[in-house]
């Protein structure tokens, strides 16, 4: 059966044939008559299922696929006609689909699973742990060993609608503990729609109906999303749960009901006068989530209530048509098109994405075809701000989502992609520092639609004049790169038909193999290696190998393939010192981490450049796999501290707890345990002035904050270096700020010279920023009060790369009133576009140039234009963009440096190649001191650049003159290399001197030779290198006998 599932991706019909064989062989073992019948048409079935010919017999319905929401996603594979086999009706389901491979775990009803796949010993033990000792289903019966009472586990997620069993388990185990992520029985009952169980829990066992999980999700939220009107009414009307309570994602019952498309529930909330202005932490409004549901009736009802707005956008700038595109509701699309402004259908979000881009990301086939029928197929070639066209979006199998809650992210992500990159913040600078890959369930039908859509669009767009199958994004990603993240070979093969370059690298040095490894599909990885002749152990520019990426995906099969087909070291490290085990642990891949340690002998003691080991990464991801908890990282923090940060009680070493990290996790049970049981000092203050109170503000858990202040009588920490209001704003928690304001009468505007608004911008808390500006009279032109940089909010937003914040600030009506423009300067004369180029935010640079063309060649106080600053910052995508806008590439800064000098001095070979190979600049230009790019690169020790410049055919001056060109005081490139002690560069230059017959004996204004400078600075190896290069020549003696002016 394992082999059966491996071929599922390629042969859906073959899968069903084998499944039928398995079923028949199971059920007709004692029926000879039925066996004879089966033998007469088995070959016909085989022919039908394998070759897709006309139905030979009516033995199976057409294949049905369906996908429900998370958690507990189930995908139906095949439904067989019961009469044909004379067995009870049954359906098959998958409970998990990971890394592109489906894994059959159980069936519904249970008796079929019991017959085909009997319970394992491990499963029996798990049942026994929660007090179940007998498992009976029809004729099947299994007895489990009864465990002692002390070994029984508490009730966590047991409520599945069996009221009597729930009551028995509660009486036996109690309700004291909660499950993973704080999941409680009332939440499970509400999600499943079991009102009788919920009533039992609340009315009899006095469970708190307002109690939420660790993310603040309460029973009302679960019932609202799932559409259980009776439960929502019971909670609001009889239990008096506040219908406006929001979880940590900012979603209320009203927003969840809209997201789920439940008109009756939404009307109930509206009649309760619930807050219709609530937005979640992504900025999604009621109107937007209604469009995400795809229900025309929902939008119509909102319009009837006077609530629906066509102009609303979220924090990413996505509007109602963007949200409609996520659902593939053609009916809603037509309704919106007939009733609202046409420009909404080509509106761009903050990343430049149009609704068509979003539709392609979600493979919304009906929406896509409707849009291209309206606007033409050429529109599918239009790119967003990062160079991604609709084709790129369609090929991609990876989406990134802001970390609100894992469930919410899965609910709103495309349903046929294998990976979701979850990032903890809107701060773009931190996206590459802190993220986690989460495997998603794949809707196979949707994945096939994606392949069909790509084929259709390519047929139509390939005949358009500006079509380029090898077009790349701003980060160098091609269509084949993105297609390899989808884990679909079929998607890749469609691209091959159009002659796409399959061996190209992106700007990080990733090939198709890297992306295939990240997708977790061993089949696709094997295909790219064999068909494209690529190296499965090739590192990228940062030393990251495909094995590390496979470990991030969590796929044991992919890791095993790489280990079996290459001679790669399992402990290979990247430039940051991380091993494949580190990558696996960081993403919380417990099974893979155990496999790497126990099967592949990964070294668990290796530490990276930060002195973090596998346990550190494991604890950060709440991985319970036990390693050595005493090992410390470079900051003297043990794994326990990271475990406390995420509230992972199970991996804590009780002798070394960190109360501050526990408070930052927001897990009340962990905090009270540390205070009451472990007697941790709750009054301690760290070196930055943070206390338990400020860390609680960071967590966003208001109940924890109240507990610390009211019950444990802690100082609310309103003022001081690290204040509770500051901590709340830095983490974007408006409800914390509001409580502190009301409780302690804080003037939010004047608090610490208006610092709160700057903190909201600096940490990109757009939700918080919007609330502060909407509710209080801040001066948006204020200057940062704690230094003399004269930075405004706009400067800080650009400096941090916060695209959404820049977009929001520049769209405020107050800007027109105060005439705040995009060319305002700070103390260094830098305008926002300079700051954006320095920090590397391409989206902000594009936005500013589009809205303020004069910014293109503006100079700062040091004479630097945006292009020069981008070269200083080594940001090639921004450089390419500015060059495409015809910026001035010949301008010099106040030191006489141009782009070539900066690149050569900074060691940016890729930028140097771009300008020189592209014939934009000459490599022999001198700066204000007469120094050439060759001189500067030799001085700084950049051997690759020296070799490139020596071999460059782009010189205007003869190479002889260029190599020996002296600066304003007579020093040549050879002088510079000797002075700084670069023997390898001295050898390269000396070789060029010899090949060009240039006299290596050159002196500067002080009559110093290169040998003088090497000796004077104590560079022994450089002296040896220079003398070796001149051995046997007259210059050897001349150098040794030369005398300088002193």
Which residues lie below 8 Å from residue 655, measured CB to CB, with a gap of 6+?
Answer: none
Q: Which of 696, 651, 697, 702 is nearest to 675 (CA)?
A: 696
pLDDT at 373: 92
> 10 Å Cβ neighbour count for 229?
16
pLDDT at 442: 66
DSSP conformation class of 239: S
The distance between the two most distant Cα atoms of the chain, rounded to a whole number of Å, is 114
Joined together, the tokens standing for residue 727 give: 């901590």
For the chain, the residue count is: 1046
> 10 Å Cβ neighbour count for 742?
9
Cβ contact 523:549 at 8 Å: no
pLDDT at 60: 29
Torsion of CA 422, 426, 429, 431, to 10 degrees: 0
Question: Which residue is listed with tokens 């990251």?
Answer: 544
Task: Please report the domains of the chain, with CATH numbers, ordered by start residue.
Answer: 2-117 (no CATH), 154-278 (1.25.40.20), 280-350 (no CATH), 371-501 (no CATH), 569-655 (1.25.40.20), 657-753 (1.25.40.20)
Q: Which of 846, 731, 754 is nearest to 798 (CA)?
A: 846
124 φ, ψ (degrees, to nearest 5): -60, -40
Distance CA 564, CA 552 (A): 18
Distance CA 612, CA 646 (A): 17
Q: 902: buried, middle or exposed (CB in 10 Å: 19+, 13-18, 0-12)?
A: buried
Joined together, the tokens standing for residue 639 give: 């794994």
pLDDT at 458: 94
pLDDT at 657: 37
The three-class DSSP label of residue 101 is strand
Cβ contact 978:1010 at 8 Å: yes
Q: Which of 224, 380, 242 is nearest to 293 (CA)?
A: 224
Give per-10-residue mean pLDDT for the chain (1046 aa).
41 42 58 62 50 32 31 32 34 36 36 53 70 64 73 49 61 62 80 86 88 85 92 95 88 94 94 90 89 93 92 84 92 92 85 90 92 93 86 85 65 74 50 60 73 92 91 86 90 92 86 93 91 91 90 90 94 90 80 87 86 65 39 46 41 46 71 80 84 86 88 89 90 86 92 90 83 85 79 85 77 53 79 88 85 90 94 91 92 90 92 89 85 93 91 65 85 93 93 83 86 90 88 73 65
| Cis? peptide before 109, omega within 30° of 0 | yes
Rg (CA), the chain: 33
């Amino acid at each position: 059966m394992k082999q059966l599932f491996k071929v599922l991706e390629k042969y859906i019909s073959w899968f069903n044939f084998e499944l039928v064989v398995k079923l028949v062989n199971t059920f007709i073992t004692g029926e000879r008559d039925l066996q004879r019948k089966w033998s007469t048409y088995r070959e016909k079935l085989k022919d039908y299922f394998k070759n897709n010919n006309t139905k030979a017999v009516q033995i199976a319905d057409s294949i049905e696929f369906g996908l429900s929401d998370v958690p507990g996603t189930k995908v139906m594979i095949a439904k067989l006609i019961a009469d044909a086999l004379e067995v009870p009706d049954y359906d098959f389901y998958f409970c998990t689909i990971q890394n592109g491979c489906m894994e059959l775990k159980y069936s519904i009803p249970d008796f079929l699973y019991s017959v085909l796949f009997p319970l394992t010993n491990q499963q029996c033990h798990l049942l026994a742990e929660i007090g179940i000792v007998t498992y009976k289903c029809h004729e099947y019966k299994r007895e489990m060993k009864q465990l002692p009472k002390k070994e029984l586990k508490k009730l966590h997620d047991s409520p599945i609608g069996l009221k009597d069993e729930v009551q028995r388990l509660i009486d036996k185990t109690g309700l004291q503990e909660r499950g993973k992520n704080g999941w409680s029985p009332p939440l499970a009952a509400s999600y499943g729609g079991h009102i009788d169980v919920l009533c039992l829990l609340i009315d009899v066992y006095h469970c708190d109906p307002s109690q939420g999980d660790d993310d603040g999700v309460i029973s009302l939220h679960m019932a609202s999303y799932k559409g259980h009107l009776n439960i929502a009414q019971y909670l609001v009307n009889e239990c008096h749960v506040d219908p406006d309570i929001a979880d940590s994602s900012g979603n209320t019952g009203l927003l969840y009901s809209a997201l789920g498309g439940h008109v009756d529930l939404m009307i109930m909330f509206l009649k309760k006068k619930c807050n219709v202005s609530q937005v979640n932490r992504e900025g999604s409004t009621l109107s937007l989530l209604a469009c995400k549901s795809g229900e025309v009736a929902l939008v119509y009802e909102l319009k009837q209530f006077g609530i629906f707005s066509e102009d609303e956008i979220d924090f990413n700038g996505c509007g109602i048509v963007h949200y409609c595109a996520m659902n593939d509701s053609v009916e809603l699309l037509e309704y919106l098109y007939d009733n609202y402004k046409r420009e909404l259908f080509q509106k761009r979000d903050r990343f430049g994405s149009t609704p068509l881009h979003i539709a392609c990301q979600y493979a919304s086939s009906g929406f896509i075809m409707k849009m291209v029928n309206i606007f033409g197929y050429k529109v599918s070639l239009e790119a967003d701000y990062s160079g991604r066209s609709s084709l790129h979006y369609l090929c991609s199998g990876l989406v990134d989502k802001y970390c609100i809650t894992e469930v919410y992210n899965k609910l709103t992500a495309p349903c046929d992609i294998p990976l979701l990159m979850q990032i903890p913040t809107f701060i773009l600078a931190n996206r590459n520092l802190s993220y986690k890959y989460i495997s998603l369930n794949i809707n196979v039908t949707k994945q096939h639609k994606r392949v069909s859509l790509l084929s259709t669009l390519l047929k139509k767009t390939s005949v358009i004049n500006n079509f380029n199958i090898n077009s790349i994004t701003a980060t160098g990603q091609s269509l084949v790169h993105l297609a390899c993240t989808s884990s679909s070979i079929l998607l890749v093969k469609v691209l091959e038909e159009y002659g796409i370059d399959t061996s190209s690298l992106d700007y990080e040095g990733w090939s198709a193999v890297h992306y295939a490894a990240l997708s977790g599909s061993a089949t696709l990885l094997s295909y790219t290696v064999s068909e494209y002749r690529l190296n499965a152990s090739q590192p990228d520019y940062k030393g990251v190998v495909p094995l590390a990426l496979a470990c991030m995906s969590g796929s044991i099969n992919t890791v095993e393939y790489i280990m079996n087909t290459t001679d790669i070291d399992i402990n290979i490290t990247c430039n940051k010192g991380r091993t494949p085990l580190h990558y696996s642990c960081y993403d919380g891949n417990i099974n893979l981490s155990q496999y790497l340690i126990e099967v592949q002998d990964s070294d668990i003691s290796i530490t990276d450049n930060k002195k973090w080991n596998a346990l550190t990464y494991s604890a950060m991801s709440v991985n319970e796999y036990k390693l050595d908890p005493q090992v410390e990282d470079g900051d003297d923090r043990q794994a326990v501290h990271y475990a406390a940060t995420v509230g992972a009680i199970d991996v804590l070493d009780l002798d070394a707890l960190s109360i501050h990290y526990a408070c930052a996790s927001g897990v009340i049970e962990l905090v009270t345990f540390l205070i009451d049981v472990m007697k941790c000092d709750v009054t301690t203050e760290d070196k930055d002035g943070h206390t338990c109170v400020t860390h609680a503000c960071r967590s966003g858990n208001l109940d924890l904050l109240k507990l610390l202040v009211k019950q444990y009588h802690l100082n609310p920490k309103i003022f001081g270096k690290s204040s509770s209001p500051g901590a709340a704003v830095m983490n974007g928690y408006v409800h914390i700020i509001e409580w502190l304001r009301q409780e302690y009468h804080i003037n939010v505007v004047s608090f610490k010279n208006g610092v709160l608004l700057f903190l909201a911008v600096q940490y990109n808390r757009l939700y918080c920023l919007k609330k502060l500006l909407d509710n209080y009279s801040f001066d948006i032109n204020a200057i940062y009060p704690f230094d003399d940089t004269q930075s405004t909010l706009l400067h800080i937003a650009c400096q941090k790369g916060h695209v959404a914040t820049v977009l929001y600030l520049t769209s405020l009506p107050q800007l027109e009133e105060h005439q705040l423009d995009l060319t305002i300067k700070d103390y260094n004369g830098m305008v926002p576009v300079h700051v954006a180029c320095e920090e590397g935010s391409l989206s902000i640079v594009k936005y500013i140039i589009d809205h303020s063309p004069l910014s293109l060649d503006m100079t700062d106080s040091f004479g630097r234009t945006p292009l020069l600053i981008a070269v200083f910052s080594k940001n090639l995508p921004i450089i390419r963009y500015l060059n495409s806008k015809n910026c001035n590439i010949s301008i010099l800064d106040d030191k006489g440096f141009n782009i070539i000098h900066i690149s050569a001095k900074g060691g940016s070979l890729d930028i140097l190649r771009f300008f020189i190979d592209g014939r934009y600049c000459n490599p022999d230009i001198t700066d204000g001191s007469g120094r050439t790019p060759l001189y500067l690169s030799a001085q700084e020790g950049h051997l690759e650049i020296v070799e490139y410049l020596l071999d460059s055919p782009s010189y205007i001056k003869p190479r002889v003159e260029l190599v020996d060109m002296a600066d304003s005081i007579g020093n040549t490139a050879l002088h510079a290399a000797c002075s700084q002690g670069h023997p390898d560069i001295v050898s390269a230059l000396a070789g060029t001197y010899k090949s060009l017959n240039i006299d290596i004996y050159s002196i500067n204004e002080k009559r110093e030779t290169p040998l003088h400078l090497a000796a004077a600075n104590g560079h022994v190896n450089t002296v040896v290198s220079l003398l070796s290069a001149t051995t046997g020549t007259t210059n050897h003696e001349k150098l040794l006998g030369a005398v300088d002016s002193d």
